[in-house]
Structure 1
Amino acid sequence: MDHPKSVSARKAVQATAGVGAGGTQSVDRAATLLILVGRAGPAGARLADLIVETDLTKPTVHRMLTALVRAGLLDQDPQTRRYHLGPELYVLGTLASARFGLHPVSMKSLVRLSQESGDTAFLSVAHDVYAICLHREDGPYPIRVHSLQAGDRHPLGIGAGSLALLSALSDAEIDQILDVNADVLTGKYEAFSGPTLRRLVQETRQRGYALNPGMLLTGSWGIGVAIRGEAGKPIGALSIAAIEGRLGENRQRELAQILRREARSIETRLHQLGRRS
């Protein structure tokens, strides 16, 4: 028996059967492949599975996947050969978020944080086992850090906002995330081993805010706090980044206080909007 997802994907492709082999059919097929790869999650999607799920020929699926990889909409792991959502989709998602959800509700808080601190404020969200920077708001202080730009992503735990998100999860969820990210941490983030991230999580919980003491980019420090939804689950994180000399212990506590204030303000606003809908 076909899996329901396979059936729906096949119908989406077959719905274009009467359309010429040109643009519309190709767009529909490409969209279906993007959806199927996204549904595969962190493990990625195999070419063989995508062929079965779409009921298309191997050359057709391979040709379209190659085009999507070339456009940055998909990535292919060079070792497993599995397909994953690509970096350009995160950028597009960032742009779309300006109209929906957390991003617009957070804008006033981000402006206040950047102006009160003088430094750079960020809004981040979790996506699977990664954290994505949705927005960067620069403050008036003339020396700025360039650790994150809107659309950048790192494994959960890498950076202040990302660490705040990770620390707000359950221990079981953290173990699962670190297990999935083990290879990428070893390959690209040598300073962030599993034991190191677990220690940082414990310190974050004890301190009440996440601290990145220049571990990702030398001289670029940051602090962050989680934004929580109705069930107490983290739905985002606010963070402030500055040069090392501007984030001593006293100032960390001061900035943590205004970060918490703005996180609570966003949570209240989201709750009010939810009650109205």
Structure 2
Amino acid sequence: MTDAPAPETTGGAQAVARALSLLSLVGRGGDAGLALGQLAAASGLARPTVRRLLLALAAARMVEQDRQTRRYHLGPEAYLLGSFAAERHGILHHARDPMLRLARETGDTLLLTVPQGDHTLCLERIEGDFPIRTHALMRGDRKPAGVGAGALAILAALPVAEGDALLRRVAPLAEALAPGLAAALAEDLAGARAAGHALNPGRVVPGSWGLGVAILWPDGRPAGALSIAAIENRMGAARQAELAALLHREARRVEARLAALDTQPKRNIA
């Protein structure tokens, strides 16, 4: 794959954008980390460019390379900055206890999904004690908007015109996952708007169902979604209503914590 023009010839903004993109890729590498070749392939950049940017990130302690595996991981500065941001922006910080509570109450798998441009990202997965589980969505998975119960709940929480336009943009990505998925998502989106919660009746992985409820910022924009994933026979109509009520209860609790952030005195960080 040919590399784009080098940052030195196109300005510092491109170098910053490329470095931040690599930092994001490293973060999604999880505990296993990512090798130089993997990062080059995923970013579309030439290996020398990736190596140069990684050296700059390592100098800033944003990434580090394991001496034995030679794979790259997030560095201590990335962890430190993330911990600083968690209380103010970290929806996971505020959603973890509700997720644990729901996992105990339902026995099923709880997922926290957040919007990310035309995609959504699974931030967390907490499993209940029911022995049969679905693994359609794992922590760190990135899906097109609307794909999955949490993603669909986020889409339904957007203004109608905005949500419809977003679904049209990601239609080719949805079709690549499963033929006919784009049309099915349009039907599911209408149902989610009417019901106030989203249902994924095994659209991507047969037998893997999900139910999702959006979490809103104080201005009404979706901050993310809580969803429950379970096998089909645990998602009958009566239980769907029960699970939706539980999800709404906990989503409102998370929203209250997010709203409280805006009422706290602003710290002087100058």
The TM-score, its normalising length taken from structure 2, stands at 0.70
**For the structure 1 residues 36 and 196, does the alpha-carbon distance in structure 2 shift closer, same or farther, using more than 3 Å as the test?**
same
Q: Which residue number corresponds to residue 192 of structure 2?
A: 204
Aligned residues of 1:69 and 1:76 also touching (Cα < 8 A) = no
Rounded to whole Å, the distance in 2 between the matches of 1:192 and 1:162 is: 14
Q: How far off its partner does 1:214 sit?
A: 1.1
Q: How does 1:241-252 map to 2 (within 5 A)?
A: 241-252=229-240
2:208 counterpart of 1:220:
yes
Q: Which residue number corresponds to residue 71 of structure 1?
A: 39
Rounded to whole Å, the distance in 2 between the matches of 1:75 and 1:220 is: 31
Aligned residues of 2:147 and 2:174 also touching (Cα < 8 A) = no
Rounded to whole Å, the distance in 2 between the matches of 1:130 and 1:109 is: 24
Q: How does 1:92-241 map to 2 (within 5 A)?
A: 100=86, 101-193=90-182, 195-241=183-229
Rounded to whole Å, the distance in 2 between the matches of 1:208 and 1:272 is: 24
Amino acid at match of 1:179: R
Aligned residues of 2:146 and 2:167 also touching (Cα < 8 A) = no
Rounded to whole Å, the distance in 1 between the matches of 2:13 and 2:184 is: 45
Amino acid at match of 1:206: A
Amino acid at match of 1:33: R
Q: Which residue number corresponds to residue 266 of structure 1?
A: 254
State the superposition RMSD in angstroms.
3.1
Rounded to whole Å, the distance in 2 between the matches of 1:118 and 1:163 is: 22
Q: Where does structure 2 lack aligned partners over 5 or more consecutive residues?
A: 1-6, 24-34, 46-62, 64-72
Q: How far off its partner does 1:178 sit?
A: 2.3
Partner of 1:239, secondary structure, is strand
**For the structure 1 residues 222 and 12, does the alpha-carbon distance in structure 2 shift closer, same or farther, using more than 3 Å as the test?**
closer
Rounded to whole Å, the distance in 2 between the matches of 1:97 and 1:243 is: 34
Number of residues paired by the alignment?
213
Amino acid at match of 1:146: H
Rounded to whole Å, the distance in 1 between the matches of 2:195 and 2:40 is: 39
Q: Cα deviation per residue 1:16-61 (whole Å; 9 max; x = unaligned)?
A: xxxxxxxxxxxxx5x54234899xxxxxxxxxxxxxxxxxxxxxxx
Rounded to whole Å, the distance in 2 between the matches of 1:223 and 1:72 is: 37
Q: How far off its partner does 1:182 sit?
A: 2.7
Q: How far off its partner does 1:158 sit?
A: 0.8
Partner of 1:71, secondary structure, is helix
Amino acid at match of 2:158: L
2:23 counterpart of 1:34:
no
Amino acid at match of 1:181: V
Aligned residues of 1:164 and 1:210 also touching (Cα < 8 A) = yes
**For the structure 1 residues 97 and 173, does the alpha-carbon distance in structure 2 shift closer, same or farther, using more than 3 Å as the test?**
farther
Aligned residues of 2:115 and 2:224 also touching (Cα < 8 A) = yes
Partner of 1:146, secondary structure, is coil
Q: How far off its partner does 1:173 sit?
A: 1.3
Aligned residues of 1:97 and 1:103 also touching (Cα < 8 A) = no
Partner of 1:238, secondary structure, is strand
Q: Which residue number corresponds to residue 67 of structure 2?
A: none
Bigger drift between 95-104 and 224-233 goes to 95-104
Rounded to whole Å, the distance in 2 between the matches of 1:104 and 1:36 is: 24
